[in-house]
Structure 1
Amino acid sequence: MHSWHWRSWEGLPYLTCSLLEKWPHGFFTKQFSPQYPAELVKVLQPDAGVYRVKQVHGNAVLTPSEIEAAMSSESPPIDELPAADGVLSDRSKQSVWVCSADCTPVLIADTHTGQVAAVHAGWRGTATKIVPNAIARFVSSGSKLQNLLVAMGPAIAGSVYQLSTHVAAEVGASILPDTYQEDNIEEILAAMSQITDSPLSPDAQAGRVRLDVRRVNAIQLQQLGIEPEQIAIAPHCTYQDPEHFFSYRREHLKKVQWSGILSV
């Protein structure tokens, strides 16, 4: 079982995961707000490069080289980040970052190459397999699946994440065979319920269910061939822990916490 540890930086708390102990990293709390990665990088390594994207709830993953190329092109304003929801390092000493409130921050590292990624996996990104997309980019740059480690940080827990059956089916289709039709909601939900340690649970309100998005991401990873011991899920819920985390579902405010990791 992987352990999670509270750390402190100048009296401010953040989380680390034992799975990623070889890489400077952190799932930062609301106490660090309103600091951005340019300031937060000092906790990991002050002289590291800092890379993030404009998050849009999609499934694109970019490298720092791609981010720099997009920002230097003539089309976007020079200060506008390219749209994506994941960043994959392509050199050493690069810190990659994502922000989240109730969505899942995912930090990934390769034990052989030292390459890392930070991914923002909300329900939309999960439905379109952003974490498998990140894994595919690792593999295309030489990684082997058995060398990848994945830590999913604080996010809204399945026990309190209520959403429509339509949305749950859209996410659930990502872990079912292609033979399931997306418009057959009841069939998809029934199949999800049969999965061992199902990410789906009932809700008292008609037309609603509860969904564990982190569990869906874990299933996607295991379907790729990544073993359960390569995956860690934080035992922290953003919605239920107002002391440490912003939650859009709880507060309806656009406030976020950052998660980052440094390539070695």
Structure 2
Amino acid sequence: MHTWHWHNWEGLPYLTCSILERWHHGFFTQQFWPRSPQVITEVLQPEASVYRLKQVHGNTIFTSQEIDSMLSTLGDDLASADGLISSKPLQAVWVASADCTPVLIGDVVTGRVVALHAGWRGTAKKIVPLAIAQLQSQGSQIDDLRIAMGPAIAGKVYQVSIEVAAEIGASIIPHDDEQKIVQALHELPNSPLLEDPNPGKVRLDVRRVNTLQLENMGINAEQVAIAPYCTFQTPEHFFSYRREREKKVQWSGIVSGKRENWF
């Protein structure tokens, strides 16, 4: 089993996962707000260069190299996307979340790392499989990947419409009929859907859908770790947009490996 560990930096708590022990990484708490990734990177690896995005609930993924080449046109703006892949050693890639799933990925052979923001919309658009396909196109092997999904809203407290459930369900059950998709989701072992007392509503476990997408790609359960924390139900550590309706976030980041032979 993969273990999750609490750490303290100047009295502020953050989480790491044993599955990513080869990399400097962290799932940071609301206590770090409003520190920027530039500041928080110093907790992980002060020498690392820092990359972040303007997140838009899509499935666009940029490499740090692409971000660097866009800098002249972006000026002071951030690139709009929801995923980042390192291109070199000592690059810190960051995503922000407040109920959506932060996903950090590392390749044990190449040292490359990925940070993804996977809310229900990004998950419906298969952002995690797309990032993995991009890694594969750069030479990664499926078996070499290690994936950690950080604190996010848990299925039992995440009410969505049948339409949303069907849209996200279509990412693992290709079908045009909403009712048939939802029915098939309910019938899955360890279903990502739970009943809701309100008509036209269900409870949705987004991290479970991401896990099923990974299984469909041939990724072994041993390669995936899911944080045992719900942002909505853990107010002492995490912001939750559903709970507070505030535009506050927690940051999750990982630094690419610096072994010379990795890249």
- Where does the alignment leave 5 or more consecutive residues of structure 2 unmatched? 258-263
Instruction: Report Cα offsets for 1:230-264 as digits up to 9, x if no partner.
Output: 00000000000000000000000000000000000
Cα deviations by residue, 1:124-174 (Å, 9 ceiling, x for unpaired): 000000000110111011000000010000000001000100001100110
Equivalent position amino acid for 2:111 in 1: G
Match 2:211 to one of 185, 206, 218: 218
Match in the other structure for 2:85: 88
DSSP 3-state at the match of 2:89: coil
TM-score by length of 1: 0.96
Q: What's the Cα RMSD here?
A: 0.7
Matching of residue 45 in structure 1 with residue 45 in structure 2: yes
Give me the whole-angstrom Cα distance separating, in 2, the residues matched to 1:152 and 1:243: 20
Alignment of 1:114-129 (within 5 A): 114-129=111-126
Aligned partner of 2:61: which letter?
A: V
Alpha-carbon deviations, 1:30-62, whole Å to 9, x = none? Answer: 000000100000111111100011100000110
Q: In the alignment, does 2:190 pair up with 1:193? A: no
Candidates 150, 170, 186, aligned match of 2:147: 150
**2:36, 2:161 → 1: CA distance?**
33
Cα deviations across residues 54-83 of structure 1 (Å, max 9, x unaligned)? 10000011011111222212xx4x011111
Note if 1:9 corresponds to 2:14: no
The percentage of counterpart residues that share the same residue type is: 61
2:27 matched to which residue of 1?
A: 27
Matched, 1:165 2:159: no
* Partner-residue secondary structure (3-state), 1:159: helix
Structure 1 gaps, min length 5: none
Corresponding residue of 2:96: 99
Instruction: Within 5 Å, give how 1:242-253 maps onto structure 2.
Output: 242-253=235-246
Measured in 1, the distance between the counterparts of 2:149 and 2:219 equals 14
Question: 1:259 is matched with which residue?
Answer: 252
Tell me the alpha carbon deviations over residues 189-237 of structure 1, each in whole angstroms, 9 at most, x when there is no partner. 1000111111001100011000000000000011001100000000000
> Deviating runs (4+, > 2 A) in structure 1?
none
Report SS of the residue matched to 1:197. Answer: coil
* Partner of residue 236, structure 1: 229
Distance 2:103 2:216 in 1: 17
- What amino acid does structure 1 have at the position aligned with 2:90? K
The amino acid of 1:121's aligned partner reads A
Quick check: 1:53–1:67 contact (8 Å CA) kept in 2? Answer: no
Number of residue pairs aligned between Structure 1 and Structure 2:
257
Match of 1:255, SS state, is coil
Partners of 1:51 and 1:94 within 8 A in 2: yes
- Aligned equivalent of 2:261: none
Structure 1 distance, partners of 2:130, 2:244, is 31
What is the letter of the counterpart of residue 23 of structure 2?
W
Corresponding letter in the other structure for 1:252:
R
